[in-house]
Amino acid sequence: MAQSFSPKPTSIFIPTPSSSCTLLFLVILCILGLYTLYHYHPNSAVTPTQTSQNALHFRDLFLSSASNFTISSYLRALTLHPHLAGTPPAIQTALYVQTHFRDLGLETHVKDYNALLSYPTHASLSVHFSDGAVEDVRLSEPGVAGNDVVMPYHAYSPSGSAYGRAVFVNYGREEDYRALEVQGVRVAGCVAVARRGKVTRNDVAMKAAEKGVAAVLMYAETEEGFSGGVERGTVMSGLGDPLSPGWAAVDDGERLGVDDDDVVKRFPKIASMPISADTADAILMSLEGARVPYEWRDTLKSKFSRVGPGPTMLNFTYQGVKKMVKIHNVFATIRGSEEPDRFVLLGNHRDAWTYGAVDPNSGTAALLDIARRYALLMRLGWNPRRSIILCSWDAEEFGMVGNVLSPSITSSAMAFGGMIMGQPLDTC
């Protein structure tokens, strides 16, 4: 009898050797997954709480590491000598800032530009009183010794001479001339004396020329009253190098001509000069003629009562020169970790009419100390999200010449903070 074939029964619950290995592998993966989910491991991402704690730590460290001693030492070094833009001492202050940034390990570079600046060669003023007395006015400040401090002058003033009756024009605005006209005062051919404020020096000089004034003397009042100090400044309209308005004045760059209409119209047509408040007071107290308009009286520091013209006569001469000079902008860059192509600028100008202890170098000293503290934070692992550029500009006093000559930086900036006289300016 034939024997039938009957296979042996099997069960899926009875593991073979290969299926046992697969099951063990799956169990191990589950265990590792659970461990990864519920336990810390070295490659885990930083939590928002940890990021906030780090930011607070670096902020506190930045604030606590400020030092009056280091700021004062920077200020001392920056103000050892007068450093008018375009002069040899100005180069030394640029090198000082560059060396400071570089020694901190910051990415540092200097950009040189050629700009048209203005310097005095001669100035004189004599006052001829009605009693026949003549006084030659000392134009420099009391206590200023040697030839290293530039004489008081207005940058970009044209050269010229004038001899005429003195007349007070208040701030030199259109409404001030209207007030004088109402009282029958004729200013044509006179030498005007104007107090600083309300409008720019350029506005004062341009309006005076429009009214037929021969020359303008400007003085600055102080809260304490009158003094022997003199406020230098520029009478150019607008900002930036006159020959390269709005673009960088590099060696092979495009430039306008000195006689170009767009250049000439930025300069006044009559000469002007700053004088001290003490000198202004001596002139104004000698005036006769129409009374000071009522609306001017409350804000005047001096108690003179007449506006002229005359009888006091003023004999004024100014000679100056405009010339091409090299100026130096210094930059330090801290690269951002997340948005390196977006810049936050923190800057201040470095040049000064004389020593510049208040304006600008109290601000420059603060900028150098900020750089020191940023470098400290970077050594401890900090980096900004966006790039920070620390800027030390030259020739700002002449009309923000150095500031405007860095368009490639300023046009890419998303925020700017300025430092002047040790205080931050509003950001934009």
Residues catalogued as catalytic: 396
Residue pair 314/191 in contact (Cβ under 8 Å)? The answer is yes
φ, ψ of residue 67 in degrees (nearest 5): -140, 120
Residue pair 104/370 in contact (Cβ under 8 Å)? The answer is no
Alpha-carbon dihedral angle through residues 369, 370, 376, 382, given to the nearest 10 degrees: 180
Distance, in Å, from the CA atom of 321 to the CA atom of 133, rounded to the nearest integer, reads 33
Nearest partner of 57 among 382, 386, 387, 370, judged by Cα:
382
> For the chain, how long is the longest CA-to-CA vector?
164
Provide CB contacts within 8 A for 285, sequence distance 6+.
302, 304
Q: What is the 3-state secondary structure (H, E, C) of 162-186?
A: EEEEEEECCCCCHHHHHHHHHCCCC
Distance, in Å, from the CA atom of 402 to the CA atom of 85, rounded to the nearest integer, reads 10
Q: Does residue 360 have a cis bond before it (omega within 30 degrees)?
A: yes
Residue pair 371/97 in contact (Cβ under 8 Å)? The answer is no
- Torsion over CA: 208, 212, 213, 214 (sign): positive
Neighbours of 379 (CB within 10 A): 10
Distance, in Å, from the CA atom of 235 to the CA atom of 237, rounded to the nearest integer, reads 6
Alpha-carbon dihedral angle through residues 156, 160, 164, 169, given to the nearest 10 degrees: -10
DSSP state, residue 286:
T
DSSP element (H, E) containing 88 = helix 88-103
Map residue 64 onto helix, strand or coil. Answer: helix
